[in-house]
Amino acid sequence: MNDIDEKEELQKKLDVLKKNRESISKEDLETKYAKAYHKLLSEINALMNEIMFRELFFFLYTVDFLETGRDLVAEEMKQKRKRLSKALYTDYSAQEYIDLLREIHREIFSQYLAEEHDFTTQSRCRINPFIDKGKCLVSLAA
């Protein structure tokens, strides 16, 4: 499954979850429809985890990062957990969820480089797909 398919599939499942929560009582979801409801939640969780891994660790998956970046990832995820959960289970928005993950990725990447490495702006632009390319072009031209 590619990135677009995963996002569309997650959004479809979130739409079903929203419809179910709006039209079926919580009690019925937990009893009468428990098997299907929990299967849907499990499928959402699996897609969410696949997307999270890809978005957070894209271009960061190196031995050096794994040794020093774990704490950065844990701290950023802790700070954004409520917003991520709200994006999925209150706003039912796959795009908002992905945007938050990309924001976390940018923050982790910036902190990691500031603490551990002395890369030029040009290097950062080449290896991080989520950095604002407009800023890179200004910096590269100077």
* The pLDDT value given to residue 106: 83
The Cα 103–Cα 32 span in angstroms is: 39
The Cα 59–Cα 129 span in angstroms is: 8
* The pLDDT value given to residue 47: 94
The Cα 95–Cα 4 span in angstroms is: 11
**What pTM was estimated for this model as a whole?**
0.71
* The pLDDT value given to residue 4: 75
Residue 105's identity, in one-letter code, is: H
**Residue 59 per-residue DSSP state:** T
* The pLDDT value given to residue 42: 94
* The pLDDT value given to residue 72: 76
The radius of gyration of the chain from alpha carbons, rounded to an integer in Å, stands at 18
Task: Spell out, as residue ranges, where the chain has pLDDT lower than 70.
Answer: 1-3, 58-69, 112, 114-142
